[in-house]
Amino acid sequence: MMRRVLRSTLVAVCFLTAGLPCVAQDGVTASEEVASTPGYSGADIAWMLTSAALVLMMTAPGLALFYGGLVRKKNILGVMMQCVFLMGLNSIVWVLWGYSLAFGSADPETGNPYIGNFDFLFLKDVYASALNPFPEPYPTASSIPALLFMVFQMMFFIITPALICGAFAERMKFSTMCVFSVLWGTFIYCPVAHWVWAPSGWLFKMEALDFAGGTVVHLISGLSALLCAVLMGPRLGFGQEPMPPHNLTYTTMGAALLWVGWFGFNAGSAVGASELAVTAFVATHIAAAAGVLAWSGAEWLQRGKPSILGACSGAVAGLVCITPAAGFVNPVNAIFMGLIGGLVCYVACTTIKNRFKYDDSLDAFGVHGVGGTVGAVLTGVFANTAVNGPSGLMEGNAGQVVTQLIGVAASAAIALVGTIIILKVLDLTMGLRVTQEEELQGLDLSQHGEEGYIFV
């Protein structure tokens, strides 16, 4: 009897106290303690946590499905494994040294303009300041913890090398892909991120505009992808036998997830729940919509029929093009950027690719390299003072276009030279491609011992 009474009492106490806020030892609730921290914003923290999750979703399932549907069915798991494994590998690299190389030594007065230092190695001082406002010299991120800024930037570091995988799909050794991604992220991505986004970076000081990664993510990954495609050579049978996408349903779902995730990518780069985040959100959506119309319209005129692959590719092209400008242009200019991005990328992925006959398997260069370059330059054209300060060519500031071109040229140079060196070293030490037998068998079986489709 006594045992039943105690049990009932315990249940009643748990029920009555379940809705009470957590109270710290000094009698202050946990939520009140966070709210009272100087400089903290609960809204900013919530939005940045959401944005980080959205950007991670872009790699998997977004990119995994988008790329996975475009390859032949014997290689779908190989593509998905690349995306999922890079979510693990690059997260660890970012924590151990990547974040420090990209965002260390950031003081605009004393910091290195070309590369970070080892101040944040193993997240030294970043984790310790997790409960404190983000420190100077990042005034735009002063309302969130340093640890949150770090993990948001981590998601960019994850997806950027994964984009390159589209160029060497169906033929690179998995082990080589892993080493390539680590080296590329360390020696190419981190320096460019520091140049553009760290307050001590030389392009940052020059006021080269890149709101969310037109140069840092898309341009350098797209150009590196082109080099991978050219130096590795085409897939066996390329140009002699058909290699259509095996599942456009997957590709469509992946494109839709990328579109949604891109709101975190671009609007999250406002580093807070602000009017600027709203502006970037709207510009992102409008440019993607215009990209769909541009690519589908061009395809409709040339082929007589618009395709779902074209619509998906147009959406991604519009998203890539608006990325560097999302926080600098108004919605009407975002329409123009989406239309231009969709049309130019369409030409790159059809006419130019067919003319030069390089096997950029999933059009990583045609969409990300070309779209990132076009977007970076157009940012200097359409930047609007009323949106976020900087003005562009449309407002009489031709110098901004020149600055954007300098940023494009410098980023392209390190991407091209660095990628050539990395690929040559790996080719001599590990080998880049699977054997002919393994390529014919497919990467699913030859690299992972699995099949994507087993019908019993």
CATH number of the domain enclosing 392: 1.10.3430.10
Say whether pLDDT at 344 is over 70: yes
Averaged pLDDT, 160-186: 97
Does a structural domain hold residue 317?
yes
Identify whether the C-beta of residue 199 lies closer than 8 Å to the C-beta of residue 106. yes
Q: How confident is the model at residue 143 (pLDDT cuts 50, 70, 90)?
A: confident
Say whether pLDDT at 260 is over 50: yes
Averaged pLDDT, 199-205: 95
pLDDT for position 85: 98
Identify whether the C-beta of residue 111 lies closer than 8 Å to the C-beta of residue 200. yes
Say whether pLDDT at 136 is over 50: no
pTM assigned to the model: 0.90
pLDDT for position 456: 67
Averaged pLDDT, 316-329: 98
Does a structural domain hold residue 178?
yes
Report d(CA 37, CA 143) in Å as an integer: 10
Residues 6+ apart with CB under 8 A from 140: 270, 271, 272
Average pLDDT value for the chain: 90
Share of the chain above pLDDT 90, in %: 82
Is the four-CA dihedral 229, 231, 235, 241 of positive or negative sign?
Answer: positive
pLDDT for position 126: 84
Say whether pLDDT at 10 is over 60: no
Say whether pLDDT at 185 is over 80: yes
Angle 83-314-361 from CA coordinates, rounded to 5°:
45
- What residue has token string 């315990």? 10
Residue 433, beta-bridge partner list:
172
Does a structural domain hold residue 13?
no
Say whether pLDDT at 134 is over 60: no
What are the pLDDT digits (tens) for 366-376?
999 999 999 99
Does a structural domain hold residue 35?
no
For 86-130, the DSSP string reads HHHHHHHHIIIIIHHHHHSS--TTTS-SS---STTGGGTTTTTTT
Give alpha helix (H) positions in 63-145.
64-70, 76-93, 99-103
N residues, the chain: 456
Query: Omega into 61 within 30° of 0, i.e. cis?
Result: yes
Domain span at residue 405?
A: 42-448
Does a structural domain hold residue 20?
no
pLDDT higher at 182 or 454: 182
Residue 211's closest CA among 281, 112, 308? Answer: 281
Q: How confident is the model at residue 323 (pLDDT cuts 50, 70, 90)?
A: very high
Q: Which structure tokens are listed for 287? A: 């440019």
Averaged pLDDT, 226-239: 95
Residue 172, beta-bridge partner list:
433
CA quadruple 37, 39, 44, 50: dihedral, nearest 10: -50
Averaged pLDDT, 29-48: 68
Q: Count structural domains, the chain.
A: 1
Q: Which structure tokens are listed for 139? A: 């005034």
Does a structural domain hold residue 77?
yes
Q: How confident is the model at residue 4 (pLDDT cuts 50, 70, 90)?
A: low
Does a structural domain hold residue 15?
no
- What residue has token string 């990132």? 372
pLDDT higher at 75 or 16: 75
Residue 298's closest CA among 283, 317, 285? Answer: 317
pLDDT for position 146: 86
Q: Which structure tokens are listed for 238? A: 């390329």
Report d(CA 255, CA 166) in Å as an integer: 14
